[in-house]
Every structure is written in structure tokens, then in C-alpha cells.
Amino acid sequence: MRITITGATGLIGAGLRRHLMASGHELRCLSRKPLAQTGWFAWDTLAGGPPRESLEGSEAVIHLAGEPIAQRWSLEVKRRIRSSRAEGTAALVKSLAALPRRPSVLVSASAIGYYGDRADESLTEQALPGSDFLSEVCVEWERAAELARESGIRVVCVRIGMVLHPRGGALGQMLPIVRAGLGGPMAGGQAWLSWVHREDLMRLFTWALETSTVQGPVNAVAPGAVRNGEFMRTLGTTLHRPAFLPVPAFALRLLYGEMAGVILRSQHVIPEVAEQAGFQFSWPQLAPALQNLLG
Ligand SMILES: NC(=O)c1ccc[n+]([C@@H]2O[C@H](COP(=O)([O-])OP(=O)(O)OC[C@H]3O[C@@H](n4cnc5c(N)ncnc54)[C@H](OP(=O)(O)O)[C@@H]3O)[C@@H](O)[C@H]2O)c1
């Protein structure tokens, strides 16, 4: 299949490129700083739609591009987080609608940030969105992607949880702290943390591309969500390090400002759509997943 990927240089995009190429797919990759190689194109989501030649003839589009979330949120950063997703996705969908031959499917990233902070509630794809900044961004992002349906394109919005990857993302940032013996339950350790092994996320994206009956939101999280305290304990055990030092909420707020809310919120997310459609997670439980990635 010929597939266009936006955000192709990111943590998820780089992994997907390898995964899809190994399965024999032909890729077109978009980035603000494209590699000087055939098949790479420049696109800044803040500056209109992608170049037409990056989309023409593609049978599928995977849309990942967006300003990184894990940074201190100044007003300008928040503006870029929102508009790189909402306006960027709207510009992409407009460009797809203008093609004489459109792709059959758009698999667009979203995030479990959609649900906001939800204590012990079990969150399937049917749950209502939260009302914080990231929830609003996710709602606008998905709404913009869903408009591609009007052009006859199947749309899947993948609500991604915390991706477990040893060299990046949230886990990559925690590793040096836990290895130094300074990790521990955050803000009391009771918040639910919904995670996904990077390999299962790659498989979920491929499954969403290839399964013509799947559309709408899909939670990309393992069935085995855990509370923060258990996550830190399991990580400590995997690394043979103590992980008992409590990290208070105020320390995280001092360090990350408003973005600390992303770490402190509680989200018990259930992958209902994927499981009911028969998707089998290779890494449904945390301890074996961490052992596989870090052991
Ligand atoms: N990783 C996670 O745990 C996680 C969880 C939930 C949701 N997600 C979402 O999934 C998507 C991919 O995640 P990731 O972890 O791979 O993100 P990432 O590592 O931060 O990469 C972001 C990608 O977006 C591109 N990008 C950023 N701003 C852009 C702009 N203005 N125009 C065009 N491209 C832009 C970057 O490419 P260049 O810098 O090369 O242009 C990069 O390829 C993101 O939208 C993210 O919010 C990720």
C-alpha cells in the first residue's frame, strides 16, 4: 500500500516508518525538516496544507504531526499545541478533499487526554470528553479529522495512551530518575495510568489501516492500566532499583507548570473498540511489557 505519514520523524512516526516498510508498504514522509531522500516532503501544519505530490496516489494517510505536549506551556506553546493539531488537520483534510483520487482511509492521532481527569471511572470510547485544555484540543483535532468522512474517506482517530518506549516519551524521561533510585509514587500514587507498549501501538495503527470495518475513535491503550504507584513499583522492580520516594504534586507543578496536569490526572482507559473487534494485544500487562522493553 502507498501510505503518507505526517509527523514521520517523531517517536511514533519513526517507529511506524520502520514497521510499515518492513511489511512492504511504500511510504511518503512529511516533516518540517524532511530528509534529503526520495519520498520525503516538507510540511509545517501551521502554514496551510501539505504539498499535493505528497498525497497524490496514496491509498492511506497516517496523521501524527503536532507540537510536542511534554514541555512547559507558555501561552505561545499552547497556541502552537492547539493550532498545529486543529488547523493542521483541517488543512490536511481540505487537501485530501481536493484530490481527484482520494485515499480510502485517514488514521489520525488523538490522545487519551480527550477524557481529562476522571478519578476511577472506566473510560471506553463512548465516554464524554473532559473540559481541560488538552481535552478541548483533542475534541477539535478529532472533529477536524472526522470531516474527511464527507469526502468518502474512512476515518479512525487513535486515542493514544502513554507510549512505553525505552528511548523517548514519558518512560524515557523517567528512566534516569528511577535508575538513580529517586523514583516513587507521584502525588499519592492513586491516579490511573493507561499505557501501551510501542509494538502494540504500531500493530494497532496497521490494524486500523487494514480493517475496513473500523472507524471513529479507538483507544490505543493496553487492557492492563495500573495506578501510578503500581507503575512506579513495577518499573523499580524491572530495573532492580528502589522506587519508594514519594514525588509530591507541588514538586511536579514547580517543575512543569500547567503541563504537570498531564502527569497528575487519573485516566482508567479501556480499549473496548479494539478488543471487541478482535485485536489481540501482545503486551496486555505492565510487568512483562516493561521486562521486554528494559529487561
Ligand atoms: N508519545 C505519546 O506517548 C503520545 C501519547 C498520546 C498522543 N500522542 C500524539 O501522537 C502524535 C505523535 O506523537 P509522538 O510521540 O511521535 O510526537 P513527537 O515525538 O513529539 O513528534 C511530533 C512530530 O510532529 C511533527 N511536528 C511538530 N510540529 C509540527 C508542525 N507545526 N508541522 C508539522 N509537523 C510538526 C514533528 O516533526 P518535525 O519536527 O520533523 O517537523 C514530529 O515528527 C502527536 O500528535 C502526539 O500528541 C503521543
What is the mean pLDDT of the segment spanning 100-113?
98
**Rounded CA separation 6/85 (Å):** 11
Instruction: Report which protein residue has its CA nearest ligand 1's atom 22.
Output: 10
Of 183, 196, 190, whose CA–CA distance to 224 is shortest?
196
Over its C-alpha atoms, the chain yields an Rg (Å, rounded) of 19
Any ligand 1 atom below 6 A from CB of 4: no
**Rounded CA separation 71/161 (Å):** 17
**Rounded CA separation 226/147 (Å):** 34
| Cα distances (angstroms) measured from residue 124 to each of 50, 159, 160, 199, 203 | 33, 11, 13, 22, 20
Instruction: Report which protein residue has its CA nearest ligand 1's atom 13.
Output: 12
Chain segment 50-98, per-residue pLDDT in tens: 999 999 999 999 999 999 999 999 999 999 999 999 999 999 999 999 9
User: What domains can be seen in the chain, in order of their start residue?
Assistant: 2-161+198-221+272-278 (3.40.50.720)
The structure's pTM equals: 0.97
pLDDT band at 258 (very low <50, low <70, confident <90, very high): confident
Instruction: Report which protein residue has its CA nearest ligand 1's atom 18.
Output: 10
Chain segment 115-169, per-residue pLDDT in tens: 999 999 999 999 999 999 999 999 999 999 999 999 999 999 999 999 999 988 9
**Rounded CA separation 122/117 (Å):** 12
pLDDT surpasses 90 at 254: no
Which one of 11, 62, 193, 219 would you pick to mutate in the ligand 1 pocket, going by the greatest count of ligand atoms within 8 A of its CB?
A: 11
Any ligand 1 atom below 6 A from CB of 217: no
Percent of the chain with pLDDT over 70: 100
pLDDT band at 250 (very low <50, low <70, confident <90, very high): confident
Query: Is residue 2 classed as helix, strand or coil in its secondary structure?
Result: strand
Any ligand 1 atom below 6 A from CB of 184: no
CA 68, distance to chain mean position in Å, is 11
Amino acid at position 131, single letter = S
Residues contacting 56, CB < 8 A, separation 6+: 99, 101
pLDDT at position 62 is: 98
